[in-house]
Amino acid sequence: MVSYRKRGNAWQYEISYKDQNGKYKKLRKSGFLLKSEAILAASKVQTEHPNLTTVQSGSESLVSYYRRWIQVYKQNAVTPITYNKYQNTAKHANELFGDLKLKDLTKLIYQEQLNKFAESHAKRTVSCFHKQLRACILEALDEKIITTDPTRKAVITGCERPKVSKTLNYDDWKKLLLNLDTSQIGEMIVYLAAVTGMRYGEIVGLTPSDIDLKNNLIAVNKAWDYKYKTGFMKTKTQSSVRDIAIDQQTSQKLQEFLDLHFLSSNRPIFMNATGHILVSAEINKILTEKLEQLNIPRITFHGLRHTHASILLYKGVSVLSVSRRLGHSNITTTQSTYLHIIKELESQDQDKIISILNNISK
């Protein structure tokens, strides 16, 4: 039921309705100069929000609604790691939108804050943030809490990261290995990545039982969630479970490291005494500083994996063996990742083939 009355010089409408619990509520709005304006506004509200409870829902903040949404729809439906990503989006949304109400969110405001987020984040990160937040906002649209989609046709941008080399050449790779202090946790991690090609999560997930110094083998059978700190987790793929052969010098360095840092048999060997394992930003900082000291071009930590694979291929190790050592799910992954190297090596092989054939009659 709707009623109208004049308060001072302005008109007010009052709509009576039942909430979800069957209790009577009243929705009032005043400030209309003419009664016809109040009638038109009340009619619009009733048309856009048939049950009227959604009008009140629009007064909830975007961040509050998003947090409730991920708790209801995502918490028990996705992995803990994925759920942590949704929680990170909530954290960023709070920094960008604060207490902004759902009903006050416009396309302009949304795009302005998305642009602000893009000033300090890569385009891929901005896209993920937008995708998760938009899914929640579309739910509010379906519930008729809002009447338009403020995320429609949003423009995704991002900041450009400084370009870095993907790999080191053989001489720089060797120079790095010879100048690492493997008694230090960070530099030992860098050393292992360079001589095994292991992923970061695989390295920091190693426990003493995974290291067979007698047979010079490292067993990769799990990883460590260094990003969201959920503990041990499965390897990236089933093919990532593998044994990696190491040289005698690496075995010796590992033995010395364990003698210095060993704490517990079921504890990651790269976890310090306070229970902390370096996150990706920390290990990349250690690597960058070391490369600068040695006047070697900067690469990321993951670039050590590419470096290891590239050097093995250039030294004549078969693609199949490199693929197994890296723990790729199939040889096609290795071939596509290192196609440029394989093509270069094929060109060299052609010269060898011609040389062999030319020597037949000699």
How many Å apart are CA 89 and CA 117, to the nearest integer?
Answer: 11
More confident residue, 55 or 268: 268
Percent of the chain with pLDDT over 70: 93
Does residue 223 sit in the same domain as residue 117?
no
pLDDT for 209-222, tens place per residue? 999 999 999 999 99
Tell me if residue 27 falls in helix, strand or coil: strand
pTM of this prediction? 0.65
307 phi and psi angles, rounded to 5 deg: -60, -45
Task: Look at residues 195, 219, 203 and name the one whose alpha carbon lies nearest to residue 311.
Answer: 195
Does residue 92 sit in the same domain as residue 213?
no
Q: Indicate whether 152 belongs to any domain.
A: no
Does residue 53 have a pLDDT over 60?
no
- Looking at residue 116, which CATH number applies to its domain? 1.10.150.130
pLDDT for 3-19, tens place per residue? 888 888 888 888 776 66
Kindly state the helix (H) or strand (E) to which residue 46 belongs, with its residue range: helix 35-48
Q: How confident is the model at residue 49 (pLDDT cuts 50, 70, 90)?
A: low
Q: Indicate whether 259 belongs to any domain.
A: yes
Does residue 86 have a pLDDT over 90?
yes
pLDDT of residue 50: 57
pLDDT for 104-157, tens place per residue? 899 999 999 999 999 999 999 999 999 999 999 999 888 888 888 999 999 999
- Tell which of 52, 76, 91 closes a domain: 52
Does residue 218 sit in the same domain as residue 249?
yes
Q: Which domain holds residue 47?
A: 2-52
Distance of CA 350 to the CA centre of its chain: 42
The number of distinct structural domains making up the chain is 3
Q: Indicate whether 147 belongs to any domain.
A: no
pLDDT of residue 361: 64
Q: Indicate whether 356 belongs to any domain.
A: no
Does residue 21 sit in the same domain as residue 78?
no
How many Å apart are CA 116 and CA 125, to the nearest integer?
Answer: 13
Does residue 181 sit in the same domain as residue 255?
yes
pLDDT for 301-354, tens place per residue? 999 999 999 999 999 999 999 999 999 989 999 998 898 888 888 888 888 788
Does residue 243 sit in the same domain as residue 324?
yes
pLDDT for 332-346, tens place per residue? 999 988 988 888 888
